[in-house]
Chain A
Amino acid sequence: MSYYDDPDNVAGYIAMAEGYDGRELVAALRRYLKDGAAVLELGMGPGKDLAMLGEHYEATGSDISAVFVDRYRRTHPEADLLVLDARTLETDRRFDAIYSNKVLQHLTRDEVRESFQRQAAVLNRSGLALHTFWRGEGEEIFSGLLNVYYTEEQLRALAADSFEVIELRRYAEMDEDDSLLLLMRRKPAPGGQPS
């Protein structure tokens, strides 16, 4: 049994996590996005950030893992959820913003580029994307899971085709300046035609 399969430990988690984790990221998004907008979260995991997004937005949660999605649906039957691969974003839905918190580092750099292109395609005109990454060089595989580290320059290059970078800054999650927050706006459709 894992530590958080124990209801007492889960209760302790909820109590300790109150007011922490993604709240500052949601606050960053709110500086640019009005309340009530449609926001898609990629890689929702247990749904902690999704709940914070839902306090202000019409939030849709997604994860490539149906286990996470089903688990959240059991406790939040009213939630709007999708099983979605962050690389391909195969959905007909459109959103005002896309959000992820330390999720896209599990994709290769080429997959992140592909994801950014797909995100631009499912965003409404002038739609926003906010993502966080671990800052650094190179990549590693830990317990079979890929972790890719990024510099500011690398993220700007990956975003350039589809997005205008609004905010790109360092912050501390575990160690000083160990993380990057990237907030960007979808570029106009080619030819200047609104879509």
Chain B
Amino acid sequence: MSGRQLERVRAICLAMPEASERLSHGEPTFFVGKRVFVMFANNHHDDGRVAVWLPVPPGLQETLIASAPQTYFRPPYVGHRGWVGIELDEVSDDDLRFHIQVAWELVAPKRLLSN
């Protein structure tokens, strides 16, 4: 299950310009330059979720969690900075792709955004 979800996330993330994958906190993590735009979180600290953590625009975290609490949650370490967790079993491909695209745009160097 988690392997299939990782491949799903990896395919979207690595299609983004200059994206790369390394491990952080024991989880596959996707970078543009030196900055993280998506972290795969497989049952992190036994929370029972197969999820991604990623940044969203300011203020959107609360809205997403309130509107679909079965899908969106506040992750540790970066939740207080406005990032959101997304339960992969609960999110459509289109929505996942949209969130990853936005996350990449939030952290990508300006030279990439202008292309």
CB within 8 Å of B: which residues of A? 2-4, 13, 16-17, 20-21, 46, 102, 134, 136-138, 140, 142-145, 147, 149, 172-176, 178
How many angstroms between the C-alpha atoms of A13 and B76 in the bound complex?
22
Say yes or no: B80 contacts A140, CB within 8 Å: yes
Give Cα A3–Cα B75 distance, bound, in whole angstroms.
19
Q: Give CA–CA (A143, B21) in the complex, Å.
A: 26
Q: Tell me whether A175 and B55 are in contact (CB under 8 A).
A: yes
**Within 8 Å of chain A (Cβ to Cβ): is B83?**
yes
Contacts of A143 in B (CB 8 A): 44-48, 76
Cβ-defined contact, A3 with B2, below 8 A = yes
Shortest B60–chain A CB gap in Å is: 15
Chain B residues within 8 Å of A178, by CB: 77-78, 81
Residues of B within 8 A of A21 (CB): 23-24
Nearest neighbor of B2 in chain A, beta-carbon distance? A3
Which B positions have Cβ atoms within 8 angstroms of A? 2-3, 6, 21-26, 28-29, 34-36, 39, 42-48, 53, 55, 75-81, 83
**Sample of 4 further A-B pairs with CB below 8 A, known A17-B22, A20-B22, A46-B26:** A20-B24, A134-B77, A149-B80, A174-B77
Q: Residue B78 contacts which of A20, A102, A174 (CB distance < 8 angstroms)?
A: A174
Chain B residues closer than 8 Å to A172, beta-carbon distance? 34-35
Q: Are A142 and B23 in contact (CB under 8 A)?
A: no
**Are B23 and A136 within 8 A (Cβ)?**
no
Residues of A within 8 Å of B22, CB to CB, are 16-17, 20
Cα of A17 to Cα of B29 in the assembled complex, Å:
11
A13 to B26, CA, bound (A): 7
| Chain B: CB-nearest residue to A179 | B77
Closest residue on chain A to residue B34 by CB atoms: A172
- List the A side residues contacting B35 at CB < 8 Å: 172, 175-176
Closest to B27 in A: A3
Look across to chain B and name the residue whose beta carbon is closest to the beta carbon of A3: B42
Q: Which residues of A contact B34 (CB under 8 A)?
A: 172
Interface centre among A102, A137, A172, A178, by most B CB within 10 Å? A178
Asked if A137 and B80 sit within 8 Å, CB to CB, the answer is yes
The answer to whether A16 touches B80 (Cβ under 8 A) is: no
